[in-house]
Structure 1
Amino acid sequence: MKRRSLSRLALCGLLAAGTGLVGACGSPTAGDQAQPGSGPVAGFPVTVDNCGYQQTFDRPPSRVLILQGASVGEVETFVSLGLQDRIVANTQYYGISDIPGMAEQVAAVPKGDLTLNAAADVPAEQALAMRPDLVVSTWSGGFDPKYGFASREMLHQAGIRTLVNPVNCAYGKPRDVTPAEQQTYRSGSTDSSLAFVDLIGKVFGVPERATELTGQLRGRIDAVRTKVAGREPKRMLIAFPDMSVMNANGLPAVFSGTIYDSVVRAAGGEPSFPDGGWDLTGNLSAEQLAAARVDVLVVGAYRPGEDLDAEAAKLFAAYPQWNASKTKTYVKVSDGIYLGPANADAIEKIARVAHPGAF
């Protein structure tokens, strides 16, 4: 995968192509050094194999550092599970969410007075200085020293555990990516968001809480699927105007593939550009966009204060041939089309606009 500059590393987030990424971290065994504290903890020790990196937790982590990685799904998972008091520093923040009240709750999580480096994440020396007992990254690249980050081995030597969102094990691994990890990355979906919830529930000793949350979220998504079943799928285009830097032609970033297509299909749609991936996002032309079938424009905000009504109007004026332009059919989203617990909220919003008769 080619990147136009290192400063765009974070914004590219989860859009890079999954193939061609190789690498793996070392594999310390279950004999890891015990975490601070005294006496046994019910339900522990817990051993997890995360991206081929095996670690044992003797008690729930209490000083968590969440790396940025152009994501907000990991910190939102902690908040949704009521674990935000375990976070000593969080660098994930959009300032907007499809979950009512979530942005405010994320804003209240400690930020740790950290300064991100040129690769838009926490440099190694600052990560170590925070003295966390767990560092969480949305992708394996968050632990790649070539970007100035602390490796999983370096943190392990300091007695610090590490976790990568399992769907992104293959993304940014320096070496030894397995075929299973590549397949998991290529097939990311709303189920991937729920799998991370279960992982955090296990590591923090609250599996029942995690099961309850995933059950609620999966139930809401399934309820939408049931309501829109049998209706003709609407062609949907996910566009983020404020991310035009990601496109070589200066067009809005158009997201397609993996979880994006999963959200669209759950809402009773079909992607205008199915399985487009990074190549589509980076290289989509104005001609391709003009020729797209678009019944519903899903217009997204990356940060607060964006006027999405105005952005939708601009796109409709630029592409009057779209069905969505003729009917002025659009829906506003933010974090719900990415990995994280907001998927159900975005799916409900999109489906209500695409299939109002089903609700």
Structure 2
Amino acid sequence: MRPVYWMSVLLLLFITTTSAQQRSTDTARVQTITDKVAGMQKFPGYFPFYWDAKAGKVWLEIDKWNSEFLYAESLPAGIGSNDIGLDRGQLGNSFIVRFDRVGPKVLLVAPNYEFRALTNNVDELLAVKDAFAESTLWGFDVAAEESNRVLVDATSFYLRDVHQVTNTLQRGQQGTYRLDPSRCAFYLPNTKNFPLNTEVETTLTFTGEPTGQFVRQVVPAPEAITVRERHSFVQLPPAGYKPRVFDPRASFQGIAYMDFATPIEEPVTKRYIERHCLAKKDPSAAVSEAVEPIVYYVDRGAPEPVRSALVEGARWWNQGFEAIGYKDAFRVEVMPPDVDPMDVRYNVIQWVHRSTRGWSYGNSLTDPRTGEIIQGRVSLGSLRDRQDFLIA
């Protein structure tokens, strides 16, 4: 009996140990992306993502590591008050960013391009990099992976007030509002993916006690304000663009940064203008077509005859390009029906309605490294034409 007893004990220990090892292996095994996204709608493109309709979540697939791209946020649908200043089509902040993976975490990091060392000396580069802080904009947990690709739950990243609507309302003394998660969702009609940019749009609702008159003038129930915000991941322009030095005598906006590798006799702060990339097909010709013309699209929401007048008026800019030897380098067209005005691949002239007359202004999404304009955006207040009509 004794040998049988000990054999039973050893067999039990073997089975228990094997089962524990199997459970440990199963726990350590990370789920594949293919298994995780089964049944979800895939949006292939620059950064592939998946829509989980049952859970109301967006899962982001990341396959570009330590590779910089542009992250921009904007406000496709605003509040409609000039005094509040949250207009339809408003561009927000933009950052050059990269994805870094550290074990089970993925970090979205914005390097500091305000302070640089334009040199090949590795030690000088590191000295500047370590002297000034970077910004880690978000952290994700790896939920699944295959090869060099990982999948993360990006729902919380997208369903947040990245445009800082609450801060704008509070600064304008319109009330203290908070994001209400129960009234927020992805806006799927404008959530799209393209080869060079990924666009995710959300519907956000802010609740609070209104204290200002401007909110009451434009919102049906001022205790609940619903807008739409957008997140854009954009591939940076290719090399070859030549920055142009900023001259205060010219009416250009610009970028500025400190270059700590600058020779002692030169200014350490560098300034360059913001401009579109434009080059002649034939650099030796007195007059030449552009390699890639600048095209602006007029908002289809502008009524006739205003829309045609906007196209005609904006085309006058082409005379300036003709004067410097370009043929048909600046074009203006009515926006085609299939073009999304918030798609960063298109320059737009947007027709913006407000409850009262307000400013018209220009803005741009710009490569912070060089000043190259990636997307130009002109916002025209729709009530100004009525004032001009009365004056005329």
Task: Normalising by structure 2, report the TM-score.
Answer: 0.24
Task: Normalising by structure 1, report the TM-score.
Answer: 0.25
Between structure 1 and structure 2, the one with the greater Rg is 2
The structure in which a higher percent of residues are strand is 2
